[in-house]
Chains A and B, each alone.
Chain A
Amino acid sequence: MSEVFPEIVWTAAVLRGVSARARAELQLVGQLRAVSKGGAVFRAGDAADAIYIVAEGAVDVSAPRTGSLSGALVKHALPGEAFGEEATLDVGSTRRWEALAVTPSVVVAIPVLMLRRALARAGGGVGGVAARIERTLRRAATADLLAAAPVTAGLARRDLELLVDAAVHVDLARGAALFKRGDASRNVYVVADGLVEARGGDALAYFARGDVIAATPLNAPYESSAVASGPSRVLALRSDAVADVVTRDPAFADRIAASAIDAAERHGRATTRASFDGTENVFHDLYRLKVARSLLVIDQNACVRCGHCAWSCADAHDDGLARLVRRGERIVTTVAIAREREREPREMTWLLPKSCQHCESPACMTDCPTGAITRDPGGDVRIREDICIGCGNCAKGCPWDNIQMAPRPEPAAVPARKNATADGAKALSSDVAVKCDLCHDSGHDSGHDSGHGPACVSACPTEAIVRVAPLRAFPEVRAALPAEANLAGVEQVLPARTSATPWVLGAGAIALAIAAKTHALGATPTMASGLAVGALTAALFAYVVVKRRSRWRVRPFFLAHLALGVLAMGAALAHAGLRAPTNVAGALNVAFWATSIVGVFGALAYRLVPSRLTRIETLGALPEDLAPRARDLDEQMYARLSGRSDVVKALFTRILLPYLRSPLAPLVSLASGATQAADVRGLEAAVSRATEGRASARLAGTGELLRLVVARRAIALERPLQHVLRAWLPLHVVLTVVVVALLLAHVAFEIALRWR
C-alpha cells in the first residue's frame, strides 16, 4: 500500500477542497515515487494515465527536442504544483512531452480517472481541472493533430488557425453513430483517436487517427453511415469553415476527396477471404486488432485442442482459475514467419480466445470505480486485487468478455459493509475480477526477453499459441491502418514452428535398424536391450512431469517424447518381440504395446485432425459447447422453416433432412476436406436441380437455411473429431502408469532372479 502523501500534495490547486473520502481513495490508488536528479517521471510516448504533483524537489516539463516544437520548457513544477495535466484531456493517449527531475524529487502520481471521479463527486464538476486546462490543451492538441494529419498538413498557418477555431471535439462510444446515411453533411471530420467505420453502400472504409471523413462533394448528403468501432474522438470542422479554406486553397478539397478514396482503397487491398463459417477477415472487428497490444492467438491448423494452455494458466494462478478460455471468434490473416522470408506470407486461421489483450486504451480501466485497474510502464494492464471491490464493472465493460468475476481467493468472510466509508480497502467483497496478468503475478518466468512466454504459450506442445501485437504482426491490419502501424513499430515476425517430422522419421529409422539387426521377433531378451527399453520408458514417463511443471517451453520436450517413443518401440521389439507369456514380463510387454499404439494413434490424430477440424468448425468451441450449439442451430433451423411455403418444407424433407441424417456423407466430406462453403454450394446445386430453376421466388432466403443445415451437420462431425483428439490421452497416461508399475516389478524380479 502506498505511503501517506505529504500534506503539501493536498495543497495543489488541483486537489484543493477534495473531501476526506476522496483523499482516502486517491491515497489508495496514488503512488509516491522518488526520482533521482535528471531522472524521468515520464517520457514522450508513455501512456498518459496520471497527473503528477511534486512533493519534494522540482520537475521540468519540456517538449522533446525534435519535431515542430523545439525542446521548449513547458513548465517548471515546484512542491505543491501539478504537472502532466494533459492526461486529463485524453485518457489513454500518450505523452507528447517529457518530465525530468531537476533535483532529487518525490512526486505523487494520481490516476486521472480517479481524480475525475473524486472531483465530480465533490460537486465541483470536472471544471476545476479540466475546464481550465482543457481549453488550452484541447486547442494545442487540435492544432497538433491538424498539423500532422496528411490532409491539413500543407495548409497555410492562417487557414490552420481558422480550422482549429472551427473544430469541436466529438466523443463517441463503441457502436455510436457519427452520422447516418442520407444525413445532411454539416461537418468535415478528422479522427483524433479511435476508429470510425463507414458502413452501407459499396464503399466500406475505416478511418483512424488523422483520417478525414467527408461527404463528396462537401455539402452533399452522406452516402454511408459512420459508426465508431470503439470509443473514439473526432474533430468536427464546420463545413463553412472548410469551404472558406477551400476557396483560398482549392487543393485542400482534392486532398479531402483523395483521402476518402484512399481509405476505401486501403480497405479493398487488405480484405482477405471471409466466409460465413465463422472465420472472418480482420475487418470483422478491426478495432479489437487496433487496440490489442498483446493479443493471444491460436493457430487453428496446429492447435490440437488439448487445452494445456488453459490448464497451465489455471496452474499458474493460486486460485486455480484459468484466465484463458478457448472460446471465441476466428480470423484469417497472413503472417510473416521467421526462416520463411523468401516464401509468400502464409495464410493462417487464428482463434482469438478469451484472454486479456492488454489494450492500448482499456475500456475496463475507464470503467473501474476504484482505480484498481492500472497499466504498468510496459503497458500491460493489471488488476490490483486489494483495491478491487468486485463490482463487475470491468467484466461488463470489456467488449470481448476477457475479464471474469471469481470468488476472492481468501474471502473476507462477509463483505465488511459497515466500514465502507472512506477506507475502501476494508470493504472487500466476496468477488474479485480476474484476467490475464501475463503471468507477472504468478512468478512464472514470462519476461519478454526470457523467450518462454507466459504459461499458456510455453505449455503449448505444438507452438500453436502466440501473443502478437496485431498492428505489427498482421499485414492486413498494417495496410488498413498505416499510420497506427508506423507508431506501433517494426513488423513482428513469428517464430517458425519446429517440425516434428525429421525427429520422428529419424527415430523411426534408428528403431527399424535396431529391430532388424536383432531380427526382433525371435530374439531372446538380453540385459542390454532391457536396460535400453527401461531407460527410454523412464524418459518417456518423465515427460508427464516436465510438461506439467516446466517453466520452459514444452515443445522441445514434446518432440523428444515423440522421438523417444519411436525409439522405445524399436528397442522393445529387440528386447522381447511380440511375445506375451503369462507373467510380469508378458503383462509388461502387452501394456507397453498398448500404450505405444495409443500414443501412435494420438500422434497421428494430432498430425491429421486439427486441419480437418478447422475446416468444419465455425467458432472456437470446447467439447461441452457442441451440444448446446447443436440445439441452438436446431431451433434456428425450425424457426426459419416455420411459416415458409410448402416448396421450402418439401425441399427440407427431401434434400436437407437426408443430408443431415446421412451417416456416411459426413465422412466423405471429411475425407475430401470440403469446407462448409463448399457443402452449401453443393446443396444449392441439389436444390436447383430438384426445382429445375423454377419457384426461385418462393425459395428466396433459403440460403440462410442451407447454411444452418450445413453448420448443424458439421457439429455432428466436430464432436467425434474433438473426441479423437482428446480421449486417447487419458488412456495413454493410465497405460503408461501401468507400464511403469510393471516395469518396476519386472526389474525387481530380474534382480532377485540373478541374485539367487
Chain B
Amino acid sequence: MAVTPARARVSPRAVATSDLTRVGDASRAVAVAAIVLAVGLGVSAASERGRGELAAPGPLARPHALANVACTSCHVGEVTQVDTSTKGVAVTCAACHDARAHASTRTAHRALAAAGKLSCATCHGAHGGAQGVTFAGAADGAFVRWGNGAERAGSMSARPSAATVPLVPVVACASCHDMGNARDPAAACPIGADASGAHAVSGCFDEHRRVDAVARATTTHDVCAAQHSPARFVAWDAARAAVAQSSWVSSAPSTSAQLRAFGPALLAILAGGAALVLAPRRRRAAALSPLVAPPAVVPPARVLLPQINATTCVGCYACVDACPFDVLEVRAFVAEVVRPTECCGVVSCAQVCPNGSLRITEGEPVATRPRLDASLESLDAKGVFVAGDLSGLPLIKNAIRQGARAVEAIAAGLSESARTKRAADFARVDLVIVGAGPAGISAALAAEARGLSYVVFEQGTVAASIKSFPRQKLVFDQPIDLPLEGELWLRESTKEDLLAQWSRIVRARNLRILEHHRVDAIDRDAASLLTVRAVAATGEPVTVTAARLVLAIGKRGSPRMLDADVTIAPDASNVVSYALADARSYEGKRVLVVGLGDVAMEAAIALARQPGAEVTVSYRGPEFARGKARNIAEMRALEAKGALRILWESVPTSIAAGRVTLSIAPPSGGPRESITIANDAVFVLIGGVPSWDLVARAGVRLASEGMPVASREENRPAVRRT
C-alpha cells in the first residue's frame, strides 16, 4: 500500500506549468478574442468622435446643421432626452418654426397632435432620420439630396427656385397606417424608385396648411419667406422628380466598408497580441531546458573509461545515476569505477559531474567496430550503412540519431533519377533496412519523411530487442527526436511505455516493415546494386534489389536455439518460445525456463510472481555463473520460498505437449538421470547468436582486420539507457 519508489536516476527539473504561463491554449484563444472585441468596442467609440456632439444619437438634418443649431437649442439643462410631445414642440421646434403655421391639414392628425400623440419629430426625425431635397435655385437645376449626415448632388431639367423640401420616410406613417392596404389613404403617398421598400418617402407634401396663404401673412423671417413662396408647388414637383432619380442618403457606412477600413488594423493587433502571449512562454521554456551536450553519432574509436580524481570528488552520485551500465559506485563518499569492462564509452558521467572530478580517458582501440565514415557508411562496402548498437555506439537515443543520419546521407547521395517509385511488390527499392529496432524504425521514418522507397526486414517482431531489455526503467535525460514524429519525451519510463509508443508510431505511420523475415543473403551486382534475400517464417523467400542498405541489426543477434538433438514432438511446436512478451498470460500455468542469464532470470521472476504459476528453471551449470546481483538475490529468495525450482546441471532432451524430459546430474553425484516434469510452456532464453556473418556478407569490414568475429561470443544482453 505505501509507496516505496526506487530512487530516481534523473533529478526532476523545474517546469513552467500552466499555472505560471497562466494562459493555456484555450484561454489564449479566448484572450485574443477578447482583445479583438475590445478593439471593436474601441473602434465603435472612436468612430463617433468629431461628428458634432459626442453624445448625439445621430447627425443633425442638413438645414439644422447649416443653421448651426446647437444642442442647447433643444436640450436644456440636465435633460438629455428631448421631450417630443406637443408640449415639447412648443419648447423645442416652435422656437423657430411657428407651431400654428405648421398645423396639419388632416383632421385625424390634428386630433392626434392635440392629444399629444403626434409631434413634429414623429415625421421629421431630429437626428439621423431626416431626409430631404434642397434646390439651389441655380440655372443648371442642381439640387442636393441629403439625409443622415450625408448628401448627394444631382441635377434636373426643371429649375425650381431655391427651396428645401423635407421628405418624410414612410416608416414614420407605418405605426398607424397600413401601407400595404390600397384602401388606406396613406398607401398612395410613397413615391420614387424605393416606393415599396424600407427607404420609401412620402410624396404627400400637403400635410401642413396652404403655405402661400399663411406665409405671406405671418412670416417675417427670410428663411420662411423663401420656403413659403408661391413657387412651393414647383418645388414639390421638382422634389418628386428628384426622389425618382435619387435614392436614400445615409452616412452610415456598409459593413464591408467598415471591415475594409479596420480589417488590417484588427489583423495586426491580433497578430501582435498572439505574439505577445506566446513570446514569454518560449523564453521561459528555453531557460528551463537542461544544458546537455548533443549526443554523439559516430562511435568512439578507442575504449573510453572514466577516471575519478578522488581528492576532489564529493561523492554526489551524479555520475553513478547517469551511468547506464552501473560501472560506477560510491564508496566512502568517493565515486569509483567498479565494473570497468561494462563501460560503454558514452560519456554522460563526465557531462553530469558537477565539479569536473570525473574525466574520460582513452584506452585501447575498439576492435569490433565497423569501419565507418562520418555519415555511417562503410568504408569498405559503398552503399552499406550501419546504424545502432552494431556501429559500436550503444543507447536508444544514439541509435535513433544514427538511423536518421544514415538515411539523410542516403537521400543526399541518391539523385532524383536514381530513385525508384514506391510499388506494392518491393522488388526494387531505394533502400533496404535490416532490423526494426530503434535505429531501423528511425531510418524508416526518415525514409518516409524524405520520400524514399524502402522496406524493412525484421527477423522477429518490431522492437523485439526492447522487449528483452532487462532493466525495468529506461532513463531519458533528453527528449528523443524522432524523424516525422518530432520530440518524444519519456523521461523515466518502463520499457512497456516505450514499446507502446513504438507500436503506435509504426501503426500510425503505416511503415513498410516485414516481420518474421530473416535476411540470409546480400549480393552486389555489376551496377553496384544490392540484392537482398530474406526468408519468411513460412520458408518463402523474398528478394529485393536496392541501391542502399542500412544494417540496423544490433548486437543481440538471433536468439540461440535449443540444440538440434532435443526432440520436440510435432504437437508441441508452439510450446517452445524464445522470448517472453507478457508474463501475465501464464497465470496458473506450468512453465519451464531454460537458461540463467539476466534475461532468463527476469523472465523466471516475472513468471513466478503470477498467481498459480509453477516455474521450473533448467540450467546446465551447477550454480549462478553471471548476472546482476539483484537478480540472483531475488532468484535465491524465490527458490527459498518455493515459488520456483532450479534444476542445476540439467538440459532438456525432449519436449512434448504437457511434459518435458530433462537429463540431470543428481546433486548426490553419480550418472546423469532422466526426469520428466509436467509442463505447459517452455522459454528458451540462452542468449543470442550475433549476426557478424551477415555483416561480413554485406562487405563491411571491422576495424580489426582478421579477427574471427563470426565466432565471437556475444550474448550479454543489451542493457540500455536512451
Contact = CB atoms under 8 A, between A and B. Distances in A.
A367 B354 CA distance: 15
B138 interface: no
Contact of A735 (B37, B80, B290, B312): B37
A401 to B, nearest CB: 5
A401 B13 CA distance: 10
B7 interface: yes
Contacts of A322: 14, 17, 19-20
A322 B22 CA distance: 12
Interface string A386-414: 00011111011101010111110000000
A363 to B, nearest CB: 10
Given A393-B317, A624-B18, A584 B34 contact: no
Nearest to B287: A407
Interface string A109-128: 00000001100110101000
Given A392-B352, A582-B48, A643-B585, 16 more contacts: A121-B310, A121-B333, A287-B2, A391-B317, A393-B318, A396-B11, A401-B8, A403-B12, A404-B13, A406-B14, A427-B355, A434-B14, A723-B24, A738-B38, A741-B42, A753-B54
Interface stretch (B25-33, B107-115, B295-303, B700-708): B25-33
Interface string A714-756: 0000000001001101110011011001100100010011000
A406 B284 CA distance: 12
B692 to A, nearest CB: 36
A285 interface: yes
B3 A738 contact: no
Given A229-B2, A624-B18, A734 B31 contact: yes
B18 A524 contact: no
Interface in A403-429: 403-407, 415, 417-418, 420-421, 424, 427, 429
Given A320-B284, A723-B26, A745-B45, A396 B8 contact: yes
Given A391-B318, A726-B24, A731-B31, A396 B9 contact: yes
B529 interface: no
Interface string B28-57: 101101110110011011001000011111
Contact of B7 (A369, A389, A396, A524): A396
Nearest to B13: A405
Given A427-B356, A583-B55, A742 B41 contact: yes
B23 interface: yes
Given A587-B45, A753-B55, A524 B80 contact: yes
Nearest to A395: B11
A427 B1 contact: no
A13 to B, nearest CB: 21
B356 A727 contact: no
B2 A286 contact: yes
For chain A, the bracket of interface size reads 35 or more
Nearest to A734: B34
B317 to A, nearest CB: 5
Contacts of B314: 117, 369-370, 389, 391, 424
B334 interface: yes
A622 B19 contact: yes
A591 B27 CA distance: 19
A325 interface: yes
B316 interface: yes
A186 interface: no
A590 interface: yes
Contact of B22 (A175, A311, A404, A587): A311
A116 B334 CA distance: 12
Contacts of B9: 396
Q: What are the 4 closest A-B residue pairs judged by CB atoms, nearest first?
A: A417-B356, A307-B19, A392-B11, A175-B4
B673 interface: no
Interface string A233-273: 00000000000000000000000000000000000000000
B565 interface: no
B500 interface: yes
B3, B31, B291, B585: most-surrounded residue (chain A CB, <10 A): B3
Given A729-B27, A730-B31, A420 B3 contact: no
A199 interface: yes
A420 B38 contact: no
Contacts of B35: 734
A684 interface: no
A182 interface: yes
Contacts of A585: 55
Contacts of A583: 45, 48, 54-57
Given A121-B332, A731-B30, A745-B45, A622 B18 contact: yes
B27 A314 contact: no
A21 interface: yes
B5 interface: yes
Interface string B370-382: 0000000000000
Nearest to A175: B4
Contact of B356 (A125, A310, A420): A420
Contacts of B78: 524, 526
24 contacts: A116-B333, A284-B3, A287-B2, A307-B17, A307-B20, A307-B22, A308-B19, A310-B17, A322-B20, A325-B17, A392-B352, A393-B11, A404-B11, A404-B12, A417-B356, A420-B355, A429-B354, A524-B81, A587-B41, A591-B41, A622-B18, A624-B24, A726-B24, A742-B45
B354 A731 contact: no
A734 B22 CA distance: 14
Contact of A737 (B3, B38, B357): B38
B288 interface: yes
Contact of B27 (A285, A405, A588, A727): A727
Contacts of B26: 723, 726-727
A375 interface: no
B641 interface: yes
Contacts of B287: 407
A52 interface: no
Interface of A: 19, 21, 116-117, 120-121, 123, 125, 174-175, 182, 197, 199, 204, 227, 229, 283-287, 307-311, 314, 320-322, 325-327, 367, 369-370, 389-393, 395-397, 399, 401, 403-407, 415, 417-418, 420-421, 424, 427, 429-431, 433-434, 524-526, 581-585, 587-588, 590-591, 594, 622-624, 635, 639, 643, 723, 726-727, 729-731, 734-735, 737-738, 741-742, 745, 749, 752-753
Contacts, number: 244
A530 to B, nearest CB: 12
A314 B20 contact: yes
Contacts of B318: 391-393
A727 B34 CA distance: 11
Interface string B52-79: 0111110000000000000000000011
Nearest to B641: A182
Contacts of A741: 38, 42
A174 B8 CA distance: 13
Contacts of B2: 197, 227, 229, 283-287
Interface in B554-585: 582, 584-585
Contacts of B602: none
A369 to B, nearest CB: 4
B154 interface: no
A741 B35 CA distance: 13
Nearest to B584: A643
A338 B330 CA distance: 51
A633 to B, nearest CB: 12
Contacts of A403: 11-12
Contacts of A731: 30-31, 33-34
A175 B7 CA distance: 10
A737 B44 CA distance: 16
B14 A404 contact: yes
A718 to B, nearest CB: 14
B285 interface: no
Contacts of B12: 395, 401, 403-405
B500 A326 contact: no
